[in-house]
Structure 1
Amino acid sequence: MPNVRIKDVAKHAGVSEATITRVVNNKGYVAEKTRKKVLKSIEILEYIPNRMASALKSRRTGIIGNVLPLSLDNPFFSKIAVSLKNAALKYDYQILPMYHEQDKKLEDRLLQEAISRMAEGIIFTADIQSSPKAISEVLNKQIPVIMIERPLKMNGVDKVLLDDFSGSIAATEKFLEFGHKAIGFIGKELRSNSVEINRFSGYKHALEKNGVLVDEKLTVLVNNYTVENGYDAMKQIIRRSGRKKPTACLIASDTLVCGALQYLYDARLRVPEDISIIGYDNTLSTLCSPPITSVALPYDEIGSVAISLFLERREQNRNFDKTIQLSPYLLDRGSVLDLRKSKGRSSNKVSRG
């Protein structure tokens, strides 16, 4: 039945238009008998509520934009996206994914699109490509902006960060506790992004604190978190270390771990018998063969905290910035060999941690 309007439903049900609005939006008190009568009229007349018209009037769309990279290699972003979706649904909000490809102009256009779609908030879970001007325009429209794992220094922006420094310390100290000294590191290039800097710095700090120098031959930094880069990085470490190969390696992304394990398999090196491995992010470690110990991130908490920060801005009118730091934790899957108990790396009897 085309062009059914709210007044038609009200006439059919014998109630006011305000009552129809309360039933459609599920807000305000309506007697159960009346509610059922209205819903029956809606069904008979095949009435479709005009959500956009309602949104224009109330300036509430229930949409939160999520800017993230179109990355098929790194499941970190999909884990965050699911966490945000689940947290938002609890408050009747929908997450609008907005994919970019490390393109500043594209990301600026995405922000303009979010404004045109009347997004009530913007959450970034990627390296920020947008210009400060574009982000300022969003903030000037009183749209909350939240950064996940990206500590942008800008007034009006809330942040959900992870203590990656401590996460890497915990992983490195696990190796040291089990008697490892020749500990390699595979991570991402240390540009201006504090995530990568903190993951490497935690590794370095733990070594130096325990009197172990960082061996540059055992350190490889790649341009991106991909399986191919993980393969090539482990290949570099094994080949250039000569006879004094590492007994362990901290790998700052589970995606890199997958590639590193493939090289070790091709080189007929076993985990943990020949080299112990700890990954980071806990996205793929349980799927690896063997399963890999990983620095796990509290994904559910990341999403819930980000949505809470949004709600504080949007619905409680909080007017000061907040930064919440969450703690990673080490999830042990037995991929670290205890050198204190083993009789040698070539021994058939191994002890796993």
Structure 2
Amino acid sequence: MLVPGVGSYFDEVVAGASAAATAAGARVILGIAPYGANSDRAQVDRLLESDVDGLLLTPHWTPGEGLGGSEWLVDLPVPAVLVERRAAPEASAAQLDAVCSNHRHGVLLALRRLSELGHGSVLLAARSDTRTAHEVRAGYTAAAHHLGLAELPVIDVDSPSTISSPESVHDLTARIAEAARSGVRAVLVHNDQDAIQLPPLLRMHGLSVPEDIALLAYDDVYAALCDPPLTAVAPPKRAVGTEALNLLLRRLGAGDELPVHQIELLPTLKIRKSCGNPV
């Protein structure tokens, strides 16, 4: 199983796959190819040297370009299932099985909740370097249009390699505070690693969550640990891992007799304190 990292989102994905493998009398061998390291192929080659029967793959994916540079995936000597990735229809990797969260639906859940609370616009602060980020941004545009909300310019959130910079976090906070002065009172942040840093920093601008700002997070890895606990979109991370492993086992048993499966699982919305009452 190849993932871009552990310690956050993919922990639950790996846990789901590992539990399903154990139940089937199999074992997961883990490889990590961090974002930006360009080590996908080297890590896959290492996994293949372990005589694995199949692969669960979350390769680096450049938003808007499918799985550019990953044509080699279709020539692997064992079956492979993409996990939280899907190739563009015209890409050769589109013929691979895939299991993903439907992040556009997740964003719709978040914006619908805020709309029901009376917000006429929602500010999105999001990363731009992963498939999830790409889908969150596309989902924001679609959901705002569907719900009749004003679509605002997206605030770019730095990638994990730079988000630890205090300057980037304070800049994000300042831009949210500026939007609040213009009447925006609801923010969706992808992801919650960034969102949980905001409440104390917003207080420095005279803004409290949820009294002045309704704050939602995307991913629900750390959101419940914030003060106040953050309402969050929760992709079905563990279920994605479980479904991907079970699909791989089916592929191993049926071979080409099994049609290509590209499965999407729906996120849920975890309601906590950070949205407040109707405005």
Alignment counterpart, residue 245 of structure 2, candidates 293, 303, 307: 307
The question of 1:235 aligning with 2:168 is answered no
Q: What aligned pairs does 1:77-92 form with structure 2 within 5 A after superposition? A: 77-92=10-25
- 1:124 pairs, out of 57, 74, 77, with 57
Residues 122, 149 of structure 2: 8 Å contact kept: no
**Counterpart check, 1:146 vs 2:81:** yes
* Alpha-carbon offset, residue 227 of structure 1: 5.7
Q: Are residue 188 (structure 1) and residue 188 (structure 2) matched?
A: no
Mean alpha-carbon deviation: is it higher for 230-239 or for 274-283? 230-239
Amino acid at match of 1:272: P
After the TM superposition, which of the residue ranges 151-160 and 277-286 deviates more from structure 2? 151-160
Report the TM-score when normalising by structure 1.
0.68
Q: Distance in 1 between matches of 2:120 and 2:20?
A: 42
Superposition deviation, residue 289 in structure 1: 0.8
Aligned equivalents of 1:130, 1:293: Cα separation in 2: 35
Equivalent in 185, 201, 209 of residue 138 of structure 2: 201
Change beyond 3 A, Cα 1:125–1:106: closer
Q: 2:36, 2:75 → 1: CA distance?
A: 18
Contact 1:108 1:131 in 2 (8 A): no
> What amino acid sits opposite 1:264 in the alignment?
L
Pick closer, same or farther for the CA change 1:203–1:131 going to 2, 3 Å: closer
Distance in 1 between residues matched to 2:131 and 2:241, nearest whole Å: 20
Return the structure number with greater relative CO, CA threshold 8 A, min gap 6: 2
Match of 1:167 in 2: 106
Amino acid corresponding to residue 264 of structure 2 in structure 1? Q
Q: How large is the RMSD of aligned CA atoms in angstroms?
A: 2.4
One-letter amino acid matched to 2:152: D
Contact 1:231 1:256 in 2 (8 A): no
Q: CA deviation at 1:94?
A: 1.7
Q: Once the 2 structures are TM-superposed, how far is the Cα of residue 135 of structure 1 from its aligned partner?
A: 1.8
> Matches of 2:174 and 2:132 in 1, distance apart?
24
Do the aligned partners of residues 242 and 261 (structure 1) sit closer, same or farther apart at CA in structure 2, a change above 3 Å counting? closer
Is 1:136 equivalent to 2:74 in the alignment?
yes
Which protein shows a greater Rg? 1
Distance 1:213 1:282, change over 3 A: same
Q: Which residue of 1 aligns with 2:64?
A: none
TM-score (norm 2): 0.85
Letter in 1 for 2:202: L
Mapped partners of 2:18, 2:68: distance in 1: 23
- 2:103–2:139 Cα contact (<8 Å) kept: yes
Taking the aligned partners of 2:135 and 2:261, their CA distance within structure 1 comes to 20
Aligned residue for 2:96?
157
Contact 2:10 2:237 in 1 (8 A): no
Given that 1:69 and 1:126 are in contact with CA atoms closer than 8 Å, whether structure 2 keeps it comes out as yes
How far does the alpha carbon of each residue in 1:216-273 deviate from its partner, in whole angstroms, 9 at most, with x for none?
Answer: 2xx302242546555532322323x373242110112111212323422443421100
In the aligned structure 1, how far is the partner of 2:59 from the partner of 2:100? Answer: 12
In structure 1, distance between residues paired with 2:200 and 2:58: 28
1:322: how far off?
0.8
- Following superposition, the deviation at residue 199 of structure 1 comes to 1.4
**Do the aligned partners of 1:230 and 1:258 also contact (CA within 8 Å) in 2?**
no
Instruction: Report how many residues are paired.
Output: 265
Report whether the alignment pairs 1:260 with 2:260. no
Unaligned runs of 5+ in 2: 62-66
Change (3 A) 1:144 1:232: farther
Contact persistence 1:70–1:100 (CA under 8 A): yes
Q: What runs of 5+ residues in structure 1 fail to find an aligned partner?
A: 1-65, 341-353
1:325 aligns with 2:237: no
Moved more, 84-93 or 101-110: 101-110
